[in-house]
Every structure is written in C-alpha cells, then in structure tokens.
C-alpha cells in the first residue's frame, strides 16, 4: 500500500494521464529503437551515405516551415471551442450552434491553407534537394527524393485535421495513432536497411506516416469532419480572416525565422563543406531530437488542456498546471542531454569492445555540450511561446524574430566559416546572449499586462 501511494503521488506530481502515457510510450520507443537504427545505419551506410540520409531528413523537415505555426494555433482555437460544445449541446445536432459554426470555419479554412502549403512544400523541397545534392559526388539519392517528397506533402495536408482532433479532446486517439506511426516507421526502416534498400527506407517511413494519418482523419474520424464540412452557415462572431489569420501570420513569420535558424544544420554543413563532415552532426541531432521530443511530451499533451482551461476562464488553475509541467519537462531535457554527453564520452571504450569506428559517427563531447546548451535555452523559449498561444494571443513576434534572426545569422556564418564547430558555437552564443533573454523579457511583460477580453 505505501508503495502504491508513492507511485500515485509521483504520477500526480508528473501529471501522468492516458494521453501522456501514449506520448511517453512513443518517446520511449524512440529511445529504445534509436540504438538499433543507428547500429543498422553504421553497418549498412558509408559515412557519405549517412550524411545523405541525414540531409534528406533535414530537407523533409522543411514541412514544419510550411505549417507556418498554424497547427498550434488550431489546437488552441479548437480547445477554446470545446467548453462551448456542452453549453450549446441542444443545437449541436443540426449545426445551428455558434460553436459548431466556428469549428466548421476552422476545418474548412485549415484545409484550404494546407492544400496550398503542401504543394508549396513539395516544390521547395525538390528545389533544395537538387541544389544541395547535385554538387556532391554522392549517388542513389535522386529517386528516393522524388518519392519521399510527395508522401511527406500528403502528411502536410492532413496535419491540420490531426491538430483539430487534438484540440477538440480526442487526444487518446491522436497520440495512439502517433505511437503506431513511429513503431511502424521503425520496423519498415529496419527491414529496408537489412535488405540493403539504402535511402529508400526514408520512402517506406514516409508512406507509413501518411497511411496512419489518413486512417485517423478519413476513416476513424471521417464522420466527425463530415459534420462540420456540411455546415453552410457562417458564425456571427468568428471568421478565419479576423480570428485566425492575425495570430497565424505572426506564428508563420516566427516559424520561418525559427526554421531557418535551427532546422537546416545538416544542410548548411553539406552545402559549405561535405556530406562526410555532416554525418556525425546528423547522427547526433537524431538522438538530441528524440530527447527534445521526450521532454516536450509534457508540454504538447497539456497544451490543449491549458487552452481549454483558459477557454473556461480557469486562469489560475491553468497557470499553476503550466508551471508544474514546465519544470518537469525542462528537468527531463537536462537529464537526457547529460546522459548523452556521458555516453559520447565513453565511445572510445566502446570501440575497443565492438571493433567498430564509433567516434567518427558522432559529435565530440564539447560539441554536444554546445548543442545541448542551445537546446535547453530553446526549450525554455518554446515553453513561453506555447503558453502565449494557450491564451489565444498572438505570438511574441518581435522577440522571436529578433532572437532567432540573430541565431540564424550566427549559425549560417559559423557553418560557412568553420563547419560544424562554427555552427554549434554560433547557435549556443546567439541563444544565450540574444534569443533567450529577449524572449523572456517579452514573455514577462506579456504575463504582467495581458488581459483576455473574454474575462472582462
């Protein structure tokens, strides 16, 4: 009994619930499957092929650029509508309630935006891919790139529907679906690597992701979206242009600047130096990204809950919950990065056991320390930004643009000047001296002055 009570207290302190359990299972799978994937990559790829693999992943990652920060806006907007569904339940069935009309406007508007965004993503990804790789002496990348980009474009198109489901309270199914995506993706990648499919494993993984997303949005919840798509009346007090776009364009600018500053590390090194030099950076970034996503699990799963609390005017409760999950999330990130540094430090010893050249495949301890410092500061800024969006407020545009604009300049110039070392030094210094301080000052000012019109 005491042990049970202790576990319950720990669960309450960490705010563990069923949706978070699915997300944590997702991240645990990434942690457990990552070493297997890394081992198979080392066994089946040359250092140059490893760099190309990481480079294509970076190019596909520009899909986050075309999401334009809108997914988090949609989660927050949908979360604010959830409390009104129960209030307007008597008129929900015929689509005459204002909450149904507002949600219908979200669904229609987001699908229009992302249909265009998916096509723009495909065009830019093809352009960046061919410009980046045609100057290298690598081969075998053309056809995998041609197939993986359209599959990733499908995922871009389906992503707003997933965000609306998450904000509307279907977090169990959304996070379960993402768990299936990551497990299936790992299995097809492993199978492809064993069979010698090389870069084609990225195509298999993208197909698994698009398939699971299509199942959730067009089969599992097809009727849910059909209900909103058949609504013909427009809401009286809500429109995409006046209520979403003012927030979205600010998120879009912030997302573009952020991506240019932090999303192209591998591409920068490949462009200015070589795929071989980019290989250890790409491999280490894969592990760091898994640690970051594990830490963000608390933020991402509780963000819709906090948004709904704000929608119900439960401000104090929302603020308390957010502080608690921010502390837990940051602690997990620091612990994960510290563990990675320790593992990197013992790689020379591991080499003597495995007779494999492991050290050249990863960044050095000093390099990981620089990267980790920047990531912790970046995580703190993300926590602040999520809270601002949960209040259905516009992002802190000036602070984000100035901060991450400076990071982008430092990263690109550092990468051009001194490759991986210059890039990481620029990232750490700019985050520490500019981006984090500026955004924190703006966030403190927001918390002290902002008043939600709905509460007045």
pLDDT digits (tens, 9 = 90+) for 54-96: 889 888 988 877 776 678 778 877 776 665 555 444 444 444 5
pLDDT at residue 324 greater than cutoff 80 = yes
| Residue closest to 97 by CA, chosen among 188, 231, 216, 192 | 231
Alpha-carbon span 33 to 190, nearest angstrom: 10
pLDDT at residue 122 greater than cutoff 70 = yes
φ and ψ at 346, to 5 degrees?
Answer: -95, 10
Q: How many residues does the chain have?
A: 456
CB 307 within 8 A of CB 79: yes
Contacts (Cβ under 8 Å, ≥6 apart) of 187: none
CB 20 within 8 A of CB 286: no
Alpha-carbon span 439 to 418, nearest angstrom: 28
pLDDT at residue 279 greater than cutoff 80 = yes
CB 251 within 8 A of CB 70: yes
Alpha-carbon span 63 to 125, nearest angstrom: 8
| pTM exceeds 0.75, yes or no | no
pLDDT at residue 27 greater than cutoff 50 = yes
Q: To 5 degrees, how large is the angle CA 387–CA 390–CA 396?
A: 55
Alpha-carbon span 151 to 55, nearest angstrom: 17
Q: What is the DSSP string of 259-295?
A: HHHHS-HHHHHHHHT-HHHHHHHHHHHHHHHHHHHHH
Alpha-carbon span 22 to 171, nearest angstrom: 9
Alpha-carbon span 62 to 84, nearest angstrom: 35
Give the residue ranges of DSSP H helices in 16-62. 18-44, 47-60
Q: To 5 degrees, how large is the angle CA 333–CA 334–CA 340?
A: 90
Alpha-carbon span 79 to 428, nearest angstrom: 35
**pLDDT of the residue at 308:** 72
Give the residue ranges of DSSP H helices in 312-364. 315-345, 347-354
CB 65 within 8 A of CB 263: yes
Alpha-carbon span 304 to 320, nearest angstrom: 15
φ and ψ at 393, to 5 degrees?
Answer: -115, 160
Alpha-carbon span 317 to 244, nearest angstrom: 26
Contacts (Cβ under 8 Å, ≥6 apart) of 103: 78, 81, 164, 168, 228
**pLDDT of the residue at 430:** 97
Is 339 in a helix, a strand, or coil? helix
The answer to which of 132-136, 211-215, 281-285 has the lowest mean pLDDT is 132-136
Q: What is the mean pLDDT of residues 160-184?
A: 90
Give the residue ranges of DSSP H helices in 61-199. 63-66, 70-87, 89-92, 98-133, 142-167, 171-194
Q: What is the mean pLDDT of residues 325-331?
A: 90
pLDDT at residue 39 greater than cutoff 50 = yes
pLDDT at residue 24 greater than cutoff 70 = yes
**pLDDT of the residue at 447:** 79
CB 267 within 8 A of CB 130: no
Alpha-carbon span 416 to 429, nearest angstrom: 16
Q: How confident is the model at residue 43 (pLDDT cuts 50, 70, 90)?
A: confident
Alpha-carbon span 147 to 149, nearest angstrom: 6
Q: At what angle do helices 171-194 and 200-215 cross, to 10 degrees?
A: 160
């Amino acid at each position: 009994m005491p042990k049970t009570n202790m576990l319950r207290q720990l669960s309450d302190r960490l705010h563990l619930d069923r949706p978070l359990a699915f997300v944590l299972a997702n991240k645990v799978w990434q942690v457990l499957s990552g070493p297997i994937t890394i081992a198979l990559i080392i066994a089946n790829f040359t250092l140059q092929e490893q760099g190309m693999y990481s480079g294509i992943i970076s190019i596909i990652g520009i899909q986050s650029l075309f999401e334009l920060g809108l997914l988090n806006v949609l989660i927050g907007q949908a979360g604010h509508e959830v409390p009104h569904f129960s209030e307007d339940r008597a008129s929900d069935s015929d689509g005459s309630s204002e909450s149904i009309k507002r949600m219908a406007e979200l669904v229609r508007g987001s699908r229009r935006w992302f249909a265009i965004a998916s096509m723009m993503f495909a065009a830019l990804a093809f352009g960046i891919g061919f410009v980046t790789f045609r100057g290298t002496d690598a081969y075998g990348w053309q056809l995998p790139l041609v197939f993986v980009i359209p599959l990733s474009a499908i995922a871009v198109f389906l992503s707003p529907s997933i965000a609306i489901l998450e904000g509307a309270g279907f977090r169990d199914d959304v996070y379960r679906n993402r768990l299936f995506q990551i497990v299936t993706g790992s299995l097809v990648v492993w199978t492809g690597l064993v069979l010698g499919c090389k870069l084609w494993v990225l195509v298999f993984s993208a197909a698994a992701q698009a398939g699971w997303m299509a199942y959730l949005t067009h089969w599992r919840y097809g009727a849910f979206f059909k209900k909103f798509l058949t609504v013909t009346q427009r809401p009286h007090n809500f429109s995409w242009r006046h209520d979403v776009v003012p927030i979205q364009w600010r998120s879009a600018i912030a997302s573009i600047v952020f991506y240019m500053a932090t999303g192209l590390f591998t591409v920068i090194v490949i462009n200015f130096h070589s795929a071989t030099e980019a290989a250890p950076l790409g491999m280490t970034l894969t592990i760091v990204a898994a640690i970051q996503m594990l830490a963000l699990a608390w933020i991402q799963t509780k963000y819709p809950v906090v948004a709904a609390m704000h929608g119900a005017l439960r401000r104090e409760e929302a603020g308390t919950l957010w502080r608690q999950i921010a502390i837990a999330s940051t602690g997990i990130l620091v612990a994960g990065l510290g563990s990675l540094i320790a593992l990197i430090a013992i790689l020379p010893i591991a080499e003597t056991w495995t007779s494999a050249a492991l050290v050249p495949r990863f960044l050095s301890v000093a390099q990981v320390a620089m990267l980790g410092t920047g990531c912790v500061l970046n995580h703190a800024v993300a926590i602040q930004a999520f809270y601002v969006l949960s209040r259905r407020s516009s992002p802190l545009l000036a602070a984000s643009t100035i901060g991450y604009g400076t990071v982008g300049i430092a990263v690109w110039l550092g990468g051009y000047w001194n490759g991986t070392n210059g890039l990481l030094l620029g990232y750490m210094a700019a985050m520490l001296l500019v981006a984090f301080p500026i955004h924190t000052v703006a966030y403190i000012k927001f918390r002290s002055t902002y008043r939600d019109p709905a509460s007045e």
